[in-house]
Amino acid sequence: MAVAATAIGSAPALAETTVFRNFSLIDGRGGAARPDSAMVVTDGRIIWVGAASQVPTQLPADSQTVTLDGKFVMPGLIDTHIHLGNVHDLKLNEQYYTRENVEADLKTYAAYGFTTVAIMGTDKDVIFSVRNAERATRPSMARLFTAGQGIVFRGGYGGVPGINRPVTNAKEAAAEVDAQAAKGADYIKFWLDDELATMPKMPPEISQAVIDAAHRNGLKAFAHIFYLEDAKRLVAQGIDGFVHSVRDQPVDKALTDAMRQKNVVQVAGTLSREIAVYAYGKPAPQLEDPFFQQALSPAALAELGSAERQKAVSQSPFYKRLPGFFDRAMDNLKRLGAAGVRYALGTDSGPPGRVAGYSGHWEMELMVRSGFTPDEAIQAATARGAEALGADDLGTLERAKWADFVVLDANPLRDIKNTRAIDAVYIAGRQVPSVKR
Ligand SMILES: [Zn+2]
């Protein structure tokens, strides 16, 4: 009797099955779009994908069908380097970091087709609760991966005041890594930069301690870097990935060989960051673009286009050098790709003026401008992003993966700007709302 009662009590809820059909499929693994495709989704997972003419006939009687004639379907996009929750309009302050603001940002990313984001070290601990709640269900906003609080050298570059706890030595650094791991960080992030020789740089014994502690906890260590020589030393120290391009000089064969041999990933190229940091020093065309505008509040949009803002940006001490760093990042990401180094797509969006969601589409456009094909840019933002994060059930539209996908009105393999022709975004098989801030 007890056994029968248990069996009845644990009977699964009726499965929810949807058949999506008649679209052209870009599955994230590369190659041309496959016309007349179909996908069967049960409880948010893909259980079948193939030609629309061959959809299995034995489906539940209550299955829903969504016909997508003339549409293109690509995997949900992944941004491997973002920050969220700390900005209100164009002001950054840790006091804005609330669950509500975090979730508002995740909804913005999702509306732009970015169904997964990786936050790089500026989260408060409520992020773990948001993430764990998402992972227990079928989320209606972007899935998130988090480093918790990234590791900052005291007095040095990086982090957000009031969130990150700067460290002064290797012992403190290892303890801070252990603290993030104990909370459930998905990876460890640290900053190694001197902000163009204006701040002290994290010393080598601390970066080594961070990397070793991350690995001892079974986590990957990802670094913010700027200089070629730092990138080389970190590869020798066992780093797993870089979340920015080298920007001081061209990457050389010694670095690309070492990255390839040690399987170090260029997690993010942040090309859109390198241009966004100076783009608003003069009237910027995207301020008039509705696809850009919908990510921002009216107040933020007005301020970003204001004469005061342009003056402040253009009077920054490094303003004249910034276009050179952008060009260097563009060239170096292309060099890494050509040398067979693994890479994914990340924007460093989130801080004021680096616009959530929009930035990822700009990033793909810039990758293509730097010499990647549209197919490569889309793979960087899908399959390769999932690989960089170790997310086995995301990134491609294949059997057993989550049904996270973007429905487009035009073919992005023909013109990368067609990634912006978004008709609908689905996470775990359910359409998510579009967002107007
Ligand atoms: Zn960042």
Distance of CA 4 from the midpoint of ligand 1 (Å):
54
6 token code pair = 């248990």
CATH topology for 76-389 is TIM Barrel (3.20.20)
| Kind of pairing between the strands at 114-119 and 91-92 | unpaired
For residue range 2-11, list pLDDT tens digits in order. 344 334 444 4
Distance of CA 123 from the midpoint of ligand 1 (Å):
12
Low-confidence ranges of the chain (pLDDT < 50): 1-11
Distance of CA 348 from the midpoint of ligand 1 (Å):
4
Distance of CA 349 from the midpoint of ligand 1 (Å):
7
Same CATH fold assignment for domains 2-74+398-431 and 76-389: no
For residue range 218-244, list pLDDT tens digits in order. 999 999 999 999 999 999 999 999 999
Distance of CA 220 from the midpoint of ligand 1 (Å):
17
Distance of CA 79 from the midpoint of ligand 1 (Å):
11
Cα separations (Å) of 231 from 223, 241, 359, 385, 389? 9, 10, 25, 20, 20
CATH topology for 2-74+398-431 is Urease, subunit C; domain 1 (2.30.40)
> Is there a contact between 414 and 405 (Cβ–Cβ < 8 Å)?
no
Distance of CA 350 from the midpoint of ligand 1 (Å):
8
Beta-carbon neighbours within 5 Å of ion ligand 1: 120, 348
Distance of CA 399 from the midpoint of ligand 1 (Å):
33
101 token code pair = 């603001």
Element (H, E) at 75: strand 72-75
Distance of CA 247 from the midpoint of ligand 1 (Å):
15
144 token code pair = 């998130």
**pLDDT value at residue 14:** 73
Distance of CA 146 from the midpoint of ligand 1 (Å):
12
Residue owning tokens 């500026």: 122
Residue 91 pairs with which residues in a beta bridge? 88
For residue range 144-193, list pLDDT tens digits in order. 999 999 999 999 999 999 999 999 999 999 999 999 999 999 999 999 99
Cα separations (Å) of 29 from 49, 241, 372? 14, 22, 15
Distance of CA 54 from the midpoint of ligand 1 (Å):
45
Distance of CA 294 from the midpoint of ligand 1 (Å):
22
Task: Return the number of other C-beta atoms located less than 10 Å from residue 106's C-beta.
Answer: 27
N-term to C-term CA, the chain: 56
Distance of CA 425 from the midpoint of ligand 1 (Å):
25
**pLDDT value at residue 434:** 87
Q: How far apart are CA 306 and CA 314, in angstroms?
A: 12
For residue 261, give every residue at least 6 positions away whose Cβ sits within 8 Å of its Cβ, in sequence order, or none.
none
Distance of CA 224 from the midpoint of ligand 1 (Å):
7
Distance of CA 341 from the midpoint of ligand 1 (Å):
21
Q: What are the sequence ranges of the domains in the chain? A: 2-74+398-431, 76-389
